[in-house]
């Protein structure tokens, strides 16, 4: 990267780029591919008010080199609003050059400007490099186990609350 990184909020015109970056992250993390499309990003990130998520894009040398995807959150621990950072991704060839730090700094500034008091995120247990980076930023590590319901498991649990005839 010859030029410094710049960070900007994504727009609807970036939906295809965001979907491609998400797929790149999912491929690197050995997750299923093909679920995140430009149409889904456009629908949920730019077609609703309020949007389901927001994105900051990192650019250098005329190319998008990373992104941060986040959404509002509220903490029952501190009783205040913040942001949950769902994805932080920097393209492999651009890592170690301050892109991730620039994205998080811009997100922290956005949080402060909007009266939010925290950023919260998780990382894969095996991603030691990312965890070391987060510690260098001053992030604390919480001992939590993430849980999720998708597809049939979500439908089965939801069915338990449906009215009985």
H helical segments located in the chain: 15-28, 38-41, 99-113, 128-137, 151-159
- Considering 67, 84, 86, 134, which one is annotated as catalytic? 134
**β partners of residue 89:** 67
Does the annotation count 134 as an active-site position? yes
Burial per residue of 3-26, b for 16 or more beta-carbon CB atoms within 10 angstroms, e otherwise: eebebeebeeebbebbbebbbebb
**β partners of residue 83:** 72, 119
Q: Which residues carry out catalysis?
A: 134
């Amino acid at each position: 990267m010859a030029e410094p990184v710049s960070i900007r909020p994504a727009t609807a015109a970036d939906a295809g780029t965001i979907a491609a970056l998400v797929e790149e992250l999912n491929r690197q993390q050995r997750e299923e591919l093909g679920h995140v499309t430009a149409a889904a990003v456009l629908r949920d990130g730019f077609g609703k008010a309020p949007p389901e998520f927001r994105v900051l894009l990192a650019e250098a040398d005329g190319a998008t080199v990373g992104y941060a995807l986040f959404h509002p959150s509220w903490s029952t621990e501190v009783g205040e609003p913040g942001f949950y950072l769902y994805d932080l991704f920097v393209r492999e060839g651009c890592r170690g050059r301050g892109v991730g730090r620039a994205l998080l700094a811009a997100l922290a500034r956005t949080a402060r400007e909007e009266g939010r008091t925290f950023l919260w995120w998780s990382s894969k247990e095996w991603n030691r490099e990312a965890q070391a980076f987060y510690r260098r930023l001053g992030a604390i590590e919480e001992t939590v186990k993430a849980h999720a319901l998708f597809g049939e498991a979500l439908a089965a649990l939801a069915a338990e609350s449906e009215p009985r005839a």
